[in-house]
Amino acid sequence: MQSSPSPNTLRTLIEPFIHQHGGWVNAHAHADRAFTLDAHMLEIYCTQTLERKWDAIDAMKRNSSVEDYYGRFCQTIELMITQGVTAMCSFVDIDPAAGDRAIRGALRARELYRDDITVLYANQTLKGVIAPDAREWFDRGAEMVDIIGALPKRDERDFGRGDEALDIVLGVAKAMNKMVHAHVDQFNDPHEHETEQLCNKTVEHGMQGRVVAIHGISIAAHAKQYRVRLYEKMRDSGVMTIACPMAWIDTPRSEFIGPAHNALTPIDEMIPAGVTVAIGTDNISDAMVPFCEGDMWRELSLLAAGCRYTDFDELVRIATDNGRRALGLPLLNVPNIAKENIHGNAAVL
């Protein structure tokens, strides 16, 4: 059988430029739960809402040893390395269910691969930061990670204190000189305004340029006038965003009346408005996102197709430089992306 040249695809057009520009950056993952998919985890995915999953996976977390967590981090990091990922950030459960076992395994794995990839960690706050035991683990976790994580929806749901939760997170981050990555606007719901709330709190705490909004799915459910105002607020407050397409494309249908849109971060509007957009895999083969296998190209291609976004140069930046910006890492000393090269290559397709 004769060998034939690689077929002309958008991947063969774009991905070489990603590698030339320093390699992929996976700006958001949850490696501590990666590859935990089994019959029980799949049942949780099929039968539980996201908010109920925050507690439904507790048994798995409690039953996982440091060695279990170490193995998952190693498996995930190796998967990233094989794809040419040069930097990544994983959230880590540090809470009453996981204790410090996940972060201990994570730190050990990072040391093993320190010469191959830059790995940063953020503390996941699935239990919030208001309840005393949750706050205790938040404070302990904040000392052990590079980036302070947030999930204001948990404390808003449980106590009606989402604003206070962000005050705690941003206050701790500022005192420790660390960035904040916050899960916001996840439910494709026009009643959510968490990204705007995060922008307001960012300015209030003087954290401009140090805060990242993860997901922002509900933004596209709002009227255009609101979206335009929000993008201006994000730009002015320096709030960046990370899109994780595979994590949200399975959002259940609803009867909300609003603009027609896919359940994706609306990068086609954000980027022209001056918002920095990065990309991540989010959960990998677990109860939250069983369909995600940690494929960076699949994430980028879904994001581009779902938003009908065809600025190939910006797609390269989303996959590289913007991820480094979202992680607070210095940009690599590599040549600038040459628009004529990417679009010139497109002429052969």
- Whether 129 has a pLDDT exceeding 80, the answer reads yes
Give dist(CA 242, CA 239) in Å, integer. 10
pLDDT tens-digit profile of 2-31? 666 678 899 999 999 999 999 999 999 999
Per DSSP, the three-state class of 152 is helix
Give dist(CA 298, CA 164) in Å, integer. 37
Task: Give me Rg for the CA atoms of the chain.
Answer: 19
Per DSSP, the three-state class of 262 is coil
Q: Kindly provide the residue ranges of all beta strands, DSSP E only, lying in the chain, ordered along the sequence.
A: 24-29, 85-93, 118-124, 148-150, 180-184, 211-215, 240-243, 277-279
24-29 and 85-93 as β-strands: parallel, antiparallel, unpaired?
parallel
Among residues of the chain, what percentage have pLDDT more than 90? 86
Closest CA to 73 of 101, 54, 39: 101
- Whether 90 has a pLDDT exceeding 70, the answer reads yes
Question: Looking at per-residue confidence, does 32 or 6 come out higher?
Answer: 32
Which residues partner with 211 through β-bridges?
180
Closest CA to 79 of 111, 124, 34, 17: 34
- Give, in order, the Cα–Cα distances in Å from 232 to each of 9, 196, 206, 225, 277: 35, 10, 17, 11, 14
pTM for this structure? 0.94
- Region 158-184: mean pLDDT is 98
- Region 295-314: mean pLDDT is 97
Question: Looking at per-residue confidence, does 189 or 73 come out higher?
Answer: 73
In this prediction, residue 348 carries a pLDDT of 39
Please answer whether residues 93 and 63 qualify as being in contact, where contact means their C-beta atoms are separated by less than 8 angstroms.
no
Model confidence at 261, in pLDDT bands (50, 70, 90)?
confident
- Provide the mean pLDDT of the chain: 93
Quick one: how many helices (H) and strands (E) in the chain?
17, 8
- Whether 338 has a pLDDT exceeding 60, the answer reads no
- Region 256-265: mean pLDDT is 80
Model confidence at 258, in pLDDT bands (50, 70, 90)?
confident
pLDDT tens-digit profile of 107-119? 999 999 999 999 9
- Whether 288 has a pLDDT exceeding 90, the answer reads yes
In this prediction, residue 343 carries a pLDDT of 59
